[in-house]
Amino acid sequence: MKFYDCKTAPSPRRVRIFIAEKGLDIETIEVDLANQAQLSDEFRAINPRCTVPVLELDDGTTIVENIGIAVYLEAAYPEPNLLGANPLEKGLVSTWNARIEYEGLVPTADALRNSSKRMSNRAITGPTNYAQIPNLAERGLARCREFFAMLDARLEQSEFIAGERFTLADITALCIVDFASWIKIKIESDQVNLKRWHDNVSRRPSAAL
């Protein structure tokens, strides 16, 4: 297998952490997003969507979404379990992972990509250029703050995002909370549950990747 990565981007970091938690050794190929290597003809042949992460299997099949990569690796390497060990856990992990993507990743990306001068014509990832919409940046900031408050309330109820152990939902949340610093949103002093959780998961060796 080959894993197409970009060290500076939050989405492939999720796969890096997942791979590390599984204890896997997968060949990694760096894609220079800063210089738009994802838009090259060479990379388009691998992923026409021009995004990372990408997991390329030995037979040439490519899996290009975080959840797809996680499901494949979990099925191929079941332990340690990260997607849920029983129906209830599976449902909770999937639910929280989806909420974190929609309520956290989307608004954070909107705030960044619709305000950064370097992304003036790249407001949406993918092969097509889209102009920025400043109002989306403002809304993204507001939604991201609401996302942090939601996580803090959730983590008052359980040690980890989806329950009482570390799962894919925690990986996704960690990467998005850290990503939010790019738009100058950080954990507030009164968000003690979120701070406790973030300190805890950040101490895991995989979080340094």
* pLDDT per residue rounded down to tens, the chain (209 residues): 999 999 999 999 999 999 999 999 999 999 999 999 999 999 999 999 999 999 999 999 999 999 999 999 999 999 999 999 999 999 999 999 999 999 999 999 999 999 999 999 999 999 999 999 999 999 999 999 999 999 999 999 999 999 999 999 999 999 999 999 999 999 999 999 999 999 999 999 999 99
- Domain segments of the chain as ranges: 2-76, 87-208
Distance CA 63, CA 68 (A): 6
Predicted local distance difference test score (pLDDT) of residue 97: 98
Distance CA 28, CA 136 (A): 34
CB 158 within 8 A of CB 136: no
Alpha carbon distances (Å) from 45 to 30, 49, 115, 128, 168: 16, 10, 30, 16, 29
CATH number of the domain at 2-76, please?
3.40.30.10
Sequence-separated (6 or more) residues with CB below 8 Å from residue 41: none
- pTM value is 0.97
CATH topology assigned to domain 87-208: Glutathione S-transferase Yfyf (Class Pi); Chain A, domain 2 (1.20.1050)
